[in-house]
Amino acid sequence: ALIGEFGSGTTKIPARGGFTNKEKGVIYFVVNRFQISRMRTVVHNADPRAYITISDVADIYRYEPED
């Protein structure tokens, strides 16, 4: 849902619930401050029980090795 709405990639990290011990996934996604409200709506529509954490990012660097 996030990729389709925002046109940028996500990173999915395998995780295990600390309380339930069930396998879960953590999706890492970066938006700017003007996109936070829309991101919350998209996530809630896809999974109303999802946890969302929001933190400031000082810088983003993308490494792209040469072929």
Which pLDDT tens digit goes with each residue over 30-50? 999 999 999 999 999 999 999
Please tell me the predicted confidence (pLDDT) of residue 22: 96
Q: How confident is the model at residue 63 (pLDDT cuts 50, 70, 90)?
A: confident
pTM tops 0.85: no
Rounded to whole angstroms, the Cα distance separating 44 from 57 reads: 22
Residue 8 per-residue DSSP state: S
Token pair belonging to 66: 């040469």
Please tell me the predicted confidence (pLDDT) of residue 8: 87
Which pLDDT tens digit goes with each residue over 24-33? 999 999 999 9
